[in-house]
Amino acid sequence: MSGIVNDGMDKGSIMDSEDRTESIVDIYASAEAVRDMKHKKETEDFNTEEPRTPRHREDFNTEECQTPRHREDFNTEEPRTPRHTEDFNTEECQTPQHTVIVLCVLIYTKSTNYAQERQQLQTKINNLTEERKQLLTNNMNLTQERQQLQTKITNLTEERDQLKSERKDLLKKFADGWKCHQSSLYFISSETKNWNESRRYCRERETDLIIINNTEEQDFVGNISGGSGHFWIGLTDIEEEGRWKWVDGSNSSITSGFWASGEPNSKGNEDCALNYSPGWADFPCDYMFKWICEKNIFK
């Protein structure tokens, strides 16, 4: 049996795990049991063959066979039974069984490998299916977001076109004497009125006295006014002394740095502000000055 194992196959080259090794041992054990039974049967058959003993006994009882030489030759005659046993154990006689065992092992190994590969492929298919579902979901979400953004773009475009149209109409309406700066239209009067009358003039034209929000706007007012003269602006503390507010109700603390030196001084009931070259100054509201109206295009 050991000769068959050594000549036929190397268990370490066929099996790569303890489970497969145990399977091979079981197969070999079963094969050896079958072979032992076959050997036993053939041995019994051999023992039941026609005995050659009577002939040998006849020859042995002859006078010639009683000589020492004949006895020596008889004892040295090559026995048939050992030769038959030796022939039975040859590799040629065992080749069919050995081939079946090897084929069984190979089939078992291949089947196990194919099962593992199939399981791995099925796992990959499942993973790819999940990824595909996730990508489809992401694509649907992105499509919805794109549609929402497209809707917003459409709405903003319509609003922009509407604002452009309104701006154009305003420019036509306030063409005479009005100047455009950023998002506002400005009108500088050529006549004089007190602060209240100046504001009424602006409001009748859907505007109001100017509100100066930053340095850039302050410089713009100085440029369009020629840097000279006094112009009413929309700033007053008539409601509460010392608390200056713009005509829209907002606080003037952000632009308080535009007051001229020493202003506001609140001398003689000076509750209205005007702009001139040094900056802002407080004056009595019934004084007569030019004024500046401002119209925000987007309001």
Instruction: Break the chain into its structural domains and give their ranges.
Output: 2-116, 178-296
CA distance 211 to 197: 17
**Tens digit of each residue's pLDDT (9 = 90 or more) over 52-96:** 544 444 444 444 434 444 444 444 545 554 444 444 444 444 467
Return the pLDDT at 211.
Answer: 93
The overall average pLDDT reported for the chain is 75
Residue range 166-193: mean pLDDT, rounded? 81
Give residue 139's identity as a one-letter amino acid code.
N
Longest dimension (CA), the chain: 179
Structure tokens at 179: 């100047």
> Is this model's pTM higher than 0.85 or not?
no
CATH number of the 178-296 domain: 3.10.100.10
144 class by beta-carbon count within 10 Å (0-12 exposed, 13-18 middle, 19+ buried): exposed
240-297 tens-digit pLDDT: 888 899 999 888 665 667 899 888 887 778 999 999 888 899 999 999 999 999 988 7
pLDDT of amino acid 90: 45
Task: Kindly compute the dihedral angle of the four CA atoms of residues 155, 156, 157, 159, in this order, to the nearest 10 degrees.
Answer: 90
